[in-house]
Homo-oligomer: A and B are copies of this chain.
Amino acid sequence: MEKKCIGIDIGGTSVKLGLFKISGELLDKWEVPTRKEEGGKHILEDVAASIKSVLKEKNIDLKDVVGAGMGVPGPVMPDGYVEVCVNLGWHNMNPQKELSQMLSGLLVKSGNDANVAALGEMWQGGGKGYTDIVMVTLGTGVGGGVIINEKIIAGRHGLAGEIGHIHVRDEEKEHCNCGGVGCVEQIASATGIAREARRKMAASDVFTEMRKYGDGITAKDVLDEAKSGDCMALEVVEVVGRYLGLMLAQVAMTIDPEIFVIGGGVSKAGQFLIDIVDKYYRHFTPISENKGKIGLAKLGNDAGIYGAARMVLD
Q: Show the binding face of A for B, using Cβ within 8 Å.
A: 132, 146, 148, 153-163, 165-167, 170, 178-180, 246, 249-258, 284-288, 290-292
Contacts and interface: CB of A to CB of B under 8 A. Distances in A.
Contact of A146 (B158, B254, B290): B254
B251 A157 contact: no
Contacts of A257: 155-156
A178 B286 CA distance: 6
B159 A288 contact: yes
Contact of A254 (B166, B170, B179): B166
14 contacts: A146-B254, A156-B256, A156-B258, A157-B256, A158-B256, A159-B252, A159-B253, A159-B288, A163-B253, A167-B284, A180-B284, A180-B285, A251-B254, A254-B254
Contacts of A287: 159, 162, 165, 178-180
Given A246-B167, A250-B250, A288 B157 contact: yes
A290 B253 contact: no
Contacts of A163: 253-254
Nearest to A258: B156
A180 B254 contact: no
Which 10 residue pairs across A and B have the least CB separation, nearest first? A155-B256, A179-B286, A159-B256, A160-B256, A178-B287, A156-B258, A162-B253, A157-B290, A166-B250, A180-B286
Contact of A255 (B246, B254, B285, B286): B254
A76 B309 CA distance: 35
Contact of A156 (B156, B158, B160, B292): B292
Count the copies. 2
Nearest to A157: B290
A256 B251 CA distance: 12
Contacts of A252: 159
A161 B153 CA distance: 16
Contacts of A255: 146, 153, 155, 160, 254-255
A155 B148 CA distance: 9
A184 to B, nearest CB: 10
B254 A161 contact: yes
Given A159-B253, A165-B253, A180-B286, 8 more contacts: A159-B287, A159-B288, A163-B254, A165-B285, A165-B287, A166-B254, A178-B286, A254-B254
Contacts of A160: 254-256
A166 B256 contact: no
A258 B249 CA distance: 23
A155 B286 CA distance: 17
A165 B160 CA distance: 20
Contact of A167 (B153, B167, B249, B256): B249
A32 to B, nearest CB: 31
Nearest to A179: B286
Contacts of A167: 246, 249-250, 284
